[in-house]
Copies of this chain bind each other. A is one copy, B any other.
Amino acid sequence: MGKKIVIVGGVAGGATAAARLRRLNEEDEIIVLEKGEYISFANCGLPYYIGGVITNRDALLVQTVEGMSKKFNLDIRNLSEATSINREEKTITVTKVDTGETYEEAYDYAILSPGARPIVPPFDGLEEAENVFTLRNIPDTDQIKTWVDEQKPHHAVVIGGGFIGIEMAENLAERGIKVKLVELSDQVMGPVDKEMAGYLHQELRDKRVELIFQDGVEAFLDRGKKVQLDSGKELVSDITIMAIGVRPESELARESGLELGERGGIVVDKSLKTSDDAIYALGDAVEVKDYIQQTPVMVPLAWPANRQGRLVADHINGKNVAYTGTLGTSVARVFGLTVAATGNNEKTLRRLGVTYEAVHVHPASNATYYPGGSPIAMKLIFDPENGNIFGAQAVGRNGVEKRIDVIATAIKGKLTVEDLPDLELSYAPPYSSAKDPVNVAGYAAMNIIEGAAEVVHFHEIDEIVREGGTLIDVREAEEYEAGNIKGAQNIPLGELRGRLEELPKNKPIHVHCQVGLRGYLATRILNNNGFRAINLSGGYKTYTISREM
């Protein structure tokens, strides 16, 4: 006799769990309840269909109800909402979305994969606005695409600069629409720190997306044709996308008395069990552990949902598996740039009060003599005591996510920054350099740990100069003249050995170059000559981009 398993939610993790359950067992009765019309669609592809990059709507429907039912011998019921759980009886009340009809379905195990839904505060005028949309599923996508196709909007307002906001800004702009992006904080793309987001701000502005920071929606006026912001600013809008974030769909879990976390996520243990032994939960609706800090987090990304779907199925079938936490590895395309990150960022570490050090480097994506290479801005964050890697961020045109994937793997392999120079990565001129950017970041971090290079950061340098500190710009004279840090004196690296007598021996000498490498060489020369030299990590490039807000 097989088990009877009811899965609530047939997208992403729910669909994965269903398929895996069947692969493990031919006998089990597997029912999938999906309140929407579609299962297992390409959530992450929706903005690109609106933008016209993906041209075939069917391509978004990764699995159909019929196809998947047959392939995996599943009982998939769409337009079927689980409206309550009777945990004593082990039954779920199912409401048919189209008829309102209800029935009870018994289970041995239930799996909750309800996902998360866009947050939409009850703004004044929202109900009267016809042109305000959120993007979560296929019907949302159809609505937005139809609106764009038919209304041919000139002006779009995107509220929120996270993944969906950025991807919608890009895809609307690609359709020739003038986009304004409104963000409550002072940067887009929360997974990276502010100075790294600076490159994205530059790219978005280059592509004529107007950025409005530290502002939010106050009200919708004129049936949504005007968006009034907290600052009083009024934006003309032919279409507005609300993408300020998502909230777990945990009402069913709450009403069933399952334990929820502070921010409303369903609490699960390592085997993804809820507080009820017969009920598992996964995906955007659950609270998981941060892989590095082991603090509770909610990470609405596809990889965790997929992985969790598999593990739940395994656990139900008696395998001793565990979900050890989420690193939050992520990537997004922002027009011509790629931004990727893994692990903890500086904001998080500061909030948690964790001691950390960071380096900024700007190596080339591939051999500089080979065409097509471009710099990657990389930030590596680590524990200065033991070299443990907390996280990494990268922005650039090529090979960006490759380096983040390598570091994400290094973290899972418990490698430290000391091991990064030792990673033997593939090199040929079209792909990398003999010293890969990951090696370079590791060398930079090691230099700090070993005391070979003291560094100062972009946000500290102005105050140092204000207080009378010495700052030497070791770039060439032409570079210095094209733009420099206030208070910096220019001594090109090639002249440094001959001009040591100009420098004070009784106080630290701060040096900087364009990206950090020549500055490092200068600190080596100075330190080896009895000075105390401190390099500006990431150089003038990181310094200036941090001002791109």
Contact = CB atoms under 8 A, between A and B. Distances in A.
Contacts of A326: 424
A329 B425 contact: yes
Interface in A502-545: 521, 524-525, 528-529
User: Which of under 10, 10 to 19, 20 to 34, or 35 or more describes the interface residues of A?
Assistant: 35 or more
A428 B413 CA distance: 23
A44 B424 contact: no
B26 A529 contact: yes
Contacts of A429: 42, 44-45, 48
Interface stretch (A204-212, A222-230, A268-276, A299-307): A299-307
A410 B411 CA distance: 10
B529 A434 contact: no
Report the copy number of this chain in the oligomer. 2
Contact of A331 (B423, B426, B434, B494): B426
A303 B25 contact: no
Contacts of A331: 426-428, 431-432
Contacts of A413: 409-410, 412-415, 419
Contacts of A25: 528
A459 interface: no
B44 A367 contact: yes
B408 A423 contact: yes
Interface string A19-37: 0001111110000000000
Contacts of A528: 24-27
Interface string A58-89: 01101000000011010000000000000000
A406 B406 contact: yes
Nearest to A405: B425
A3 B115 CA distance: 65
Nearest to A426: B331
A74 to B, nearest CB: 12
13 contacts: A44-B427, A48-B370, A303-B427, A306-B435, A307-B424, A324-B422, A338-B431, A401-B402, A405-B425, A406-B406, A408-B425, A409-B410, A412-B419
